[in-house]
Structure 1
Amino acid sequence: MSTVHIPAESVESDGKRAELDGELILPPSAKGVVLFAHGSGSSRFSPRNTYVAEVLQRRGIGTLLFDLLTREEDRDYETRFDIALLTRRLLAATRWIRDEPRTRALSLGYFGASTGAAAALQAAAEMGNEVSAVVSRGGRPDLAGAAALARVTAPTLLIVGGADYGVIELNQEAYALLDCAKELSLIPGATHLFEEPGTLQLAAGAASDWFARHL
């Protein structure tokens, strides 16, 4: 594992640059790398995303978990839900991955949780065929907007808890707007955070299968 520092635009108009901390792990002969976009109020240390990343690593897939916001920015409640900003930060990390010698030749995937799923889908719409696969776990893909959803070309998997009422319907609506290879997977008995025994494992398995197939 290597700690990395990703340059990005600042939310301030002072001309300064923000620096996003991340953790890059590349298994031997990695076939691709997945960038994680965490949800509001979370960070690169999210235990659920860390678990999913470990499952991917065991499948020979590299992972980049990074903070979408600086510590100062994360204190601002509104900034946490600024999907356009989160998308720009994910695109900045994508550019960094493309410039990094260890990863520039690898295929790319996005994994988004909660509001991070909206950022992942907006970024995928922007990147087009340069992104090979997208997975949303307990996400709010509806926040990406209808126009962005219609432009996504990467095969997309929406994973939702089977007991995450309200969010299921939002994912179904977003799913209908996607015009790409797609799948909607309901994890039986899981609520929004996949805290029920065995549910996170099922979600991680579905995500790793999707990335292994499409990266």
Structure 2
Amino acid sequence: MFPRIEKLCRKLETERDSISAERKQILEKIASAIDSQIENTGKAQLIYICTHNSRRSHFGQIWANVAAEFYGMSSVIEAFSGGTEVTALHPNSVTALKTMGFEVRTTTTEANPRYNVKFGKQRSTTCFSKVFDNPENPDQDFLAIMTCSHADENCPFIPGALSRFASPYEDPKLFDTTQLQDKKYLERAMEIGREVSFMVSQLASK
């Protein structure tokens, strides 16, 4: 893991008091479901889902894979993302990732490019916008984590999901083209990182 990302993970550990009791209850329920899936199948697969798969769901995917690596659980936890429609990973999301210390490289050139997001010399995850049932995502026995209220309300059934959880975050899209956009994207990325770190730490402490 890159030293800067490892340092950020340790910083997130010191910020857990800022997570509300209500949010911790949601995260602990997800952690319990992950634990059960690992016990039953040997591995847990998560799909973070929001409408456009361009912002919050990608932050969830990336941070879940980072936290799994940080807590020594990368062999049993794997995270993906998807949406209810296809757009592209938003450039402001890419900026936030680079600001945090991730190495982000475009690997294709179409309107919806693929990105390789590295958090270590040999550790990375692939990000591009796709529907949640894209063939590159698991199609059975996964946990669906809904990161936006719109997707949660408009997609009441997720085929193949063992369980689904509503874990919404404010959309940083609200601040696009404003003076606050970079700050708010970074805040949202860090908030999701903080909560995902807490969630995975509940498993590592067992």
The question of a shared fold, defined as TM-score above 0.5 by the shorter chain, is answered with: no
Structure with bigger strand share is 1
TM-score (norm 2): 0.34
